[in-house]
Structure 1
Amino acid sequence: MSSTTNDDPLHATGDELPELELNDEDILDAMRHIPGYLDISTEDFRAIYHLAHTHALERLFRRVHATHLMLPDIQPLYPDTRLDVAAQQMVAQGRKSLPVVDENNCVTGMLTETDFLRRLQVDSFLELLLQLVTDQSRFTHRCHETQVCEAMTAPAITIAEQAGFREILHTFHRHEGRSMPVVDDQGHLKGLLLRKDFIKAHHLEALL
């Protein structure tokens, strides 16, 4: 079968849902395995396949919402948390990014590993390691004196807890991050949706 044009299965365009594209050889081979005579063109066969695929996904996933796939027990960060403390919390939770919330538990931003590197003015963790060897005190001071609100990405791209397959797909399509905060109607944090969990739950690994 022909390959997809993008390595990320979430990068479907428009209202198209990710699927494997059939070429004429695929279709003709399938038709040869159907007993009897099949009076249908390859274009008609392909059109039926695309429609059936879309309807099947809609049927299978219409009841799946972000709240079913999210990690519910995330400990968020706060704007005035120091970067060194934030790093400790991210490591303790095994996360590469964490949502930042205000005193009302409303999401105000997202702190990622990339934000750390940007704030510390390095391009990679290897460069960070090398500079720590030569001048650890400078980085220690910067992390201790910098608050999360100074380094985080804001505003955060969030997803509603009742968002379905299509909305999640399209949001991840325009969002390059590994995860998104899941929020209720008032913007309160409810959990964290990981890109890898969404891909795995919908068996999209086969398109990679």
Structure 2
Amino acid sequence: MFPWLFPFGLGGFGNKHIRTKIHTPTHTRHLLLYADRLIQTDEYFAFVAFNQAQIRKSAGGGYLLTERHNFDNIAEQIMDIDRDALDRLISRGVDVRYVTPQDDAECACFELLSHLDYVAGHVDGSLASRKYMRNELKSLIMSEGMPLFFVMFAPVDFKHPLCIYLCGQPLNLDVADPMLPSSKARMRMIAENPVACARFHDFMVRTFISEVLCSRSDKPGLFGHTGAYYGTVE
């Protein structure tokens, strides 16, 4: 895989010649942070690596499901599920946002879906993982109360010197207003290096949490003392 990135089959995933065993996510992060930025700017590596991570987590979730004590009951539920009840739930779900079961067959469908969510819940970006995040947010609200502020921000990456620097453009970040390339050149850099954009966004979010919210400090932040926060990335 990726012979243009790993000549002679060395350096890629699952390489037996690597002396130290390294976890695949850690290996992926290490590859994406290479100084030459060859892997960062590759058109396929990030998508394939993320897809492989999803498949790996889905397989891991399926394995954990088979190890559960009620797996035999789940298998029987799959074989005995009422397809007409599923069709009714699907048809009602098209018209309304929230569907509730109306008979025992539909309740069995909901119970089966909750078991299958155990597999998809391990996969980043899946509907089940989003549902788990909503449940976490609801639990946080029940514990800490309703949130006082809803903050949504989108840092402009192609205008920020730090993001351009992470893309590989040499800049003097010690000055207040460094000379930047043209707008067209900056937008091309951003489009060619999504890893730099992700690192820039992560830095801005962490800086906002630590410096504006002062979440792990005794001093109050811009909005006062921060009791709790919850953030997601679209």
TM interval, shorter chain, is under 0.3
Q: Which has the larger radius of gyration?
A: 2
Higher helix proportion: 2
Taking structure 2 as the reference length, the TM-score comes to 0.22
Higher strand proportion: 1
Taking structure 1 as the reference length, the TM-score comes to 0.24
